[in-house]
Amino acid sequence: MKKIIDEKFLWGGSSSAYQIEGGWNADGKEPSVQDVKTYIPAGTTDFKVASDHYHHWKEDVKMMSEAGFRSYRFSISWTRVWSFKNNQPNQPGIKFYNDLIDELIKYKIEPIITMYHFDLPDFLQQQGGWLSRSTIDEFAKYAQLLVENFGHKVKYWLTINEQNMMALVPEAVLGQKATMKDIYQCNHHMFLAQAKAMKIVHQLSKSLVGPAPNINVIYPNTNTPDDYLAAINCANIRNWYYLDLPIFGKYNTIVLDLLEKNNSMFDIEKGDMEILTDPLAKPDFIAFNYYATGTVKSSDENNAVASKGGDQHSKSGVKGYFEQVKNPNLAKTQFGWEIDPVGFKTTMLELTTRYNLPLILTENGIGGYDELDANNEINDQYRIDYYTAHFKQMFEAMEMGVDLIGYNPWSAIDLVSTHEGIKKRYGFIFVNRTEDDLKDLKRYPKKSFYWYKEVIKNNGKNIK
Ligand code: BG6
Q: What is the mean pLDDT of residues 73-88?
A: 98
Q: How confident is the model at residue 341 (pLDDT cuts 50, 70, 90)?
A: very high
Q: How far is the CA of 69 from the centre of ligand 1 (A)?
A: 21
Instruction: Give the pLDDT confidence score for residue 283 in this predicted structure.
Output: 98
pLDDT at 265 over 90: yes
Which atom number of ligand 1 is nearest to the Cα of residue 162?
Answer: 6
pLDDT at 303 over 50: no
Q: What is the CB-side half-sphere exposure of residue 327 using CA atoms within 13 A?
A: 20
Instruction: Give the pLDDT confidence score for residue 123 in this predicted structure.
Output: 97
Instruction: Give the pLDDT confidence score for residue 306 in this predicted structure.
Output: 45
The verdict on the CB of residue 420 being under 6 Å from ligand 1 is yes
Which atom number of ligand 1 is nearest to the Cα of residue 173?
Answer: 8
Structural contact between residues 425 and 449, judged by C-beta atoms closer than 8 angstroms: no
Q: How far is the CA of 418 from the centre of ligand 1 (A)?
A: 6
For a mutational test of ligand 1's pocket, the pick from 73, 119, 335, 410, i.e. the residue with the most ligand atoms closer than 8 A to its C-beta, is: 410
Task: Give the bridge partners for 12, in sequence order.
Answer: 71
Q: How far is the CA of 197 from the centre of ligand 1 (A)?
A: 23
Q: How confident is the model at residue 312 (pLDDT cuts 50, 70, 90)?
A: low
Please provide the DSSP assignment of 390-402 as one string: HHHHHHHHHHTT-
Which atom number of ligand 1 is nearest to the Cα of residue 418?
Answer: 16
Q: How far apart are CA 110 and CA 10, in angstroms?
A: 8
Domains plus CATH for the chain? Answer: 10-216+232-286+333-457 (3.20.20.80)
Q: How far is the CA of 300 from the centre of ligand 1 (A)?
A: 30
Strand order of the β-sheet with 294-297 is 218-220, 294-297, 322-325, 317-318
Q: How confident is the model at residue 172 (pLDDT cuts 50, 70, 90)?
A: low
Taking only the tens place, the pLDDT of each residue in 437-451 is 999 999 999 999 999
Classified as helix, coil or strand, 73 is strand
Question: For residue 401, which amino acid is it?
Answer: G
Q: How confident is the model at residue 313 (pLDDT cuts 50, 70, 90)?
A: low
Structure-derived torsion over alpha carbons of residues 272, 278, 282, 288, reported in degrees to the nearest 10: 0
Q: Mean pLDDT of all residues in the chain?
A: 94
Which atom number of ligand 1 is nearest to the Cα of residue 337?
Answer: 15
The verdict on the CB of residue 16 being under 6 Å from ligand 1 is yes
Instruction: Give the pLDDT confidence score for residue 37 in this predicted structure.
Output: 84
Running DSSP on this structure, what letter comes out for residue 40?
A: P
Q: How confident is the model at residue 257 (pLDDT cuts 50, 70, 90)?
A: very high
Share of the chain above pLDDT 70, in %: 95
Running DSSP on this structure, what letter comes out for residue 67?
A: T
| Catalytic residue set | 162, 363
Q: How far apart are CA 338 and CA 332, in angstroms?
A: 4
Taking only the tens place, the pLDDT of each residue in 151-166 is 999 999 999 999 999 8
Residue 400 neighbours by CB under 8 Å, 6+ apart: 345, 349
Q: How far apart are CA 220 and CA 229, in angstroms?
A: 8
Structural contact between residues 323 and 221, judged by C-beta atoms closer than 8 angstroms: no
Per DSSP, helices labelled H in 289-365 are 341-355
Task: Give the bridge partners for 114, in sequence order.
Answer: 75, 158
